């Protein structure tokens, strides 16, 4: 079966074709970074209009690149939440239109579940159960994954996501949007111990908070108006990495999981990839990252999730399915929420 995946939850227009849920025939993406950079962040109305303009052409490009015709597509999957409602409406509406025209089944995909399927694409030999750390510009969540449709969120951010905290530092020091790659590059040249930034909520349950870290950076910059950017970025990034690693390892220990899977845009960060495996190995755990091209928003992961739900669970959505901007991952799927253990300190 060939599955067409569509991803338009934010500022990436992405289309992929997947054979039998595992072979990526094509995975094309159009980034709106240049469109939004002048505003320092994503403008929803502009994003929606650009998705509407680019999506049909990307679908045709994907089919041409894969060398297949419409008659070979057997399933369409599209992200229907969470995300910006305008972009979600564009992707879901286009997917439904294809399904009506071609008489194909439709599956709506949860964006964060799709990120976890990026791991399934890259490491099918490492199945659940595992602890998932989903970390991106809009989301930072710890998820117990018992099966590919059994998700239990045990921790999330109370304010800024980790990627959002990086973007805010970028705006403070003029690194542009998105700031993650620039901070990553600068941090490799700096001293992560140069500035003693706080580690918010370290040792306090599994929820996270990064807004205070940004405030600490603002205050530090008032006293140091001409900073060494490499040291600043390295120290700021180290604080985020320390929190993410500590929370994930403690959660895996308490839930008796030996594997941790890190997905989302921030999973491409070189410092996180450098530090995490060693600290986890000290506690007898393994850490897995997808290849960087599957960390950021893409449609191959959407197609993989849709294929699984349709072929292995016999699931399909009605064409009345509506996008949901704040769609929760907790319990999305078939499983009941397990009993909470004592998370301690």
Q: Bin 103: left if φ > 0, else alpha if -120 < ψ < 50, else beta.
A: left
Position 341 scores a pLDDT of 53
- In DSSP notation, 210-254 reads -HHHHHHHHHHHHH-SS--HHHHHHHHHHHHHHHHHHHHHHHHHH
Position 141 scores a pLDDT of 96
Domains 2-115+295-313 and 127-289 alike in fold? yes
Task: Please write the tens of the pLDDT for every residue from 209-260.
Answer: 999 999 999 999 999 999 999 999 999 999 999 999 999 999 999 999 999 9
Neighbours of 203 (CB within 10 A): 11
> Does the pLDDT of residue 336 top 50, yes or no?
no
Q: Taking residues 172-183, report their average pLDDT.
A: 90
Q: Give the residue from 13, 14, 7 showing the smallest Cα distance to 49.
A: 13
93 burial (CB, 10 Å; 0-12 / 13-18 / 19+) is middle
Tokens of 259: 């594997």
Tell me 298's DSSP state: -
> Does the pLDDT of residue 106 top 80, yes or no?
yes
Neighbours of 167 (CB within 10 A): 22
Question: What is the model's pTM?
Answer: 0.93
- Which range is least confidently modeled, 69-78, 125-134, 165-174? 165-174
**Residue 306: strand, helix, or coil:** helix
**Residue 281: strand, helix, or coil:** helix
CATH architecture of the domain with range 2-115+295-313: 2-Layer Sandwich (3.30)
Query: What mean pLDDT value characterizes the chain?
Result: 93
Tokens of 71: 């008659």
- Structural element, H or E, at residue 118: helix 111-122
> Does the pLDDT of residue 74 top 60, yes or no?
yes
Distance CA 29, CA 95 (A): 16
Tell me 206's DSSP state: S
CATH architecture of the domain with range 127-289: 2-Layer Sandwich (3.30)
Name the phi and psi angles at 99, rounded to 5: -65, -35
Distance CA 213, CA 183 (A): 15
Domain ranges in the chain are 2-115+295-313, 127-289
Instruction: Kindly give the pairing relationship between strand 12-19 and strand 2-7.
Output: antiparallel
Distance CA 301, CA 109 (A): 10
- Which range is least confidently modeled, 42-51, 211-220, 308-317? 42-51
- Which range is least confidently modeled, 16-20, 140-144, 169-173? 169-173
Distance CA 94, CA 316 (A): 17
**Band of the pLDDT at 311, cuts 50, 70, 90?**
very high
- Give residues with Cβ within 8 angstroms of 302, minimum separation 6: 5, 6, 7, 14, 16, 77, 78, 79, 109, 111, 114, 117
- Give residues with Cβ within 8 angstroms of 292, minimum separation 6: 268
Beta strands, E only, the chain: 2-7, 12-19, 23-31, 73-81, 106-110, 130-135, 140-147, 150-156, 259-263, 286-288
Q: Taking residues 50-67, report their average pLDDT.
A: 96
Give the strand order in the sheet containing 286-288. 150-156, 140-147, 130-135, 259-263, 286-288
3-state DSSP percent of the chain in helix, strand and coil, to 5: 45, 20, 35
Distance CA 165, CA 338 (A): 31
- Give residues with Cβ within 8 angstroms of 303, minimum separation 6: 3, 4, 5, 16, 17, 18, 21, 77
Distance CA 160, CA 228 (A): 25
> Does the pLDDT of residue 338 top 50, yes or no?
no
Task: Pick the more confident residue, 340 or 326.
Answer: 326
Tokens of 38: 């002048």
């Amino acid at each position: 079966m060939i599955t067409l995946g569509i991803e338009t939850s934010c500022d990436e227009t992405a289309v992929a074709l997947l054979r039998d849920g595992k072979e990526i025939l094509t995975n094309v993406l159009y980034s709106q970074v240049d469109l939004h950079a002048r505003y320092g962040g994503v403008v929803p109305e502009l994003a929606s209009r650009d998705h509407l303009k680019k999506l049909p052409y990307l679908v045709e490009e994907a089919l041409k690149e894969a060398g297949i015709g419409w008659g070979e597509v057997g399933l369409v999957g599209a992200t229907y939440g969470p995300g910006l409602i305008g972009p979600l409406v564009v992707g879901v509406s286009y997917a439904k239109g294809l399904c009506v025209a071609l008489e194909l089944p439709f599956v709506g995909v949860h964006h964060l579940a799709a990120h976890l399927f990026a791991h399934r694409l890259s490491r099918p030999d490492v199945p659940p159960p595992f602890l998932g750390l989903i970390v991106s510009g809009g989301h930072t969540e710890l998820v117990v994954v018992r099966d590919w449709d059994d998700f239990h969120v045990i921790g999330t951010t109370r304010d800024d996501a980790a990627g959002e905290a990086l973007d805010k530092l970028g705006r403070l020091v003029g690194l542009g949007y998105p700031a993650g790659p620039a901070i990553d590059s600068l941090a490799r040249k700096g001293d992560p111990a140069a500035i003693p930034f706080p580690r918010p909520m370290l040792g306090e349950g599994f929820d996270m908070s990064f807004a205070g870290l940004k405030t600490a950076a603002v205050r530090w910059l008032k006293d140091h108006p001409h900073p060494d950017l490499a040291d600043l970025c390295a120290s700021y990034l180290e604080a985020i990495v320390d929190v993410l690693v500590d929370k994930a390892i403690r959660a895996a220990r308490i839930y008796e999981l030996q594997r941790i899977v890190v997905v989302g845009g921030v999973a491409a960060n070189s410092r996180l990839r450098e530090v995490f495996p060693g600290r986890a190995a000290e506690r007898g755990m393994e850490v897995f990252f997808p290849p960087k091209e599957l960390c950021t928003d893409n449609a191959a992961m959407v197609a993989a999730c849709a294929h699984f739900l349709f072929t292995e669970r016999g699931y399909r959505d009605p064409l009345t399915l509506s996008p949901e901007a704040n769609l929760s991952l907790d319990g999305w799927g078939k499983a009941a929420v397990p009993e909470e253990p004592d998370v301690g300190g």
